[in-house]
Amino acid sequence: MIELRSHSWHVAHGRSIDVGEQSVIMAIVNVTPDSFSDGGDYEAVDTAVAHALACAKEGAAIIDIGGESTKPDAEAVSATEEQGRVLPVIEALRGKTDALISIDTYRADTARLAISAGAHIVNDVFGLQREPEIAALAAQTGAGLCIMHTGRERPKLPDVIDDQVLFLSRSLDIAAAAGVNRQNIVLDPGFGFAKDTEENLELMARFTALLRFELPLLAGTSRKRFVGAVTGRDAPDRDVGTAASSAILRLQGAAIFRVHNVAINRDALAVADAILRTRAKLGGRTP
């Protein structure tokens, strides 16, 4: 049985957030022209800020701001361009919301500038293994770290969980060597990142195996291609499938959910949370 364990996730600027006993939603705000489902929707600073504030009002505790698309085969942008997109949004949001601000980047320089601008969390899709300097930055600033698994740019082990353990263990070693406190770390298995439909579904089915790390787990299935493969829906119409996957993963032990549509996932996760609380009251008994 999944236990409702509370973790205090420590992040930059003296903030923290309790995760585990209740689902936490991280809203996606892509300040990009080419993201796979909402590219171009929030390129303007005022539009991105308004969307972020609306997500917070709907129940997002974290706003994740990205300036480079990470969809398969997306073209990389320069650090200067990435920073020009995200920093004005972070600066504009600072002081307008109590929601934590996350910067979605694998560049240490962008992360440093984002934290200075007011970001609390660094969400690194290469799990500290592209630019390990992010770990040192987190240790220095107390920033929260989302360490994500990826299968990109490297050979993978044939077993999905073995590969998760190999990659994430390496990332945690990098973090430990830099002096990052484990209370600042969340792990993300990286749904959709160099994983086909069957691998993603197997990762969902075996998700509890990741609880061995004894760290909060983030799930980012929102509108991913494998959700479309299962539902037959195009990216903008995958929110119901996403909400179903969020609820399933919550029951498997995920604590934080990175989503495009806050409201529908909030409701699905409220049901999952209620089931977990009821299980706890019953002491794990089943009929």
The catalytic residues are: 224, 258
Q: What is the C-alpha to C-alpha distance for residues 263 and 94, in angstroms, rounded to an integer?
A: 23
Sequence-distant (6+) residues with CB within 8 A of 201 are: 226, 230
**Mode of pairing for the β-strands spanning 16-19 and 7-10:** antiparallel
Q: What are the angstrom distances between the C-alpha of 242 and each of 122, 162, 226?
A: 23, 25, 10
88, 44 in Cβ contact below 8 A?
no
Run of H or E including 146: strand 144-148
Between CA 25 and CA 254 the distance in angstroms is: 11
CA distance 58 to 55: 5
Three-state secondary structure call for residue 121: strand
Q: Would you say 132 and 27 are in contact if contact means Cβ atoms under 8 Å apart?
A: no
Running DSSP on this structure, what letter comes out for residue 75? P
The whole-angstrom separation of Cα 54 and Cα 56 is 5
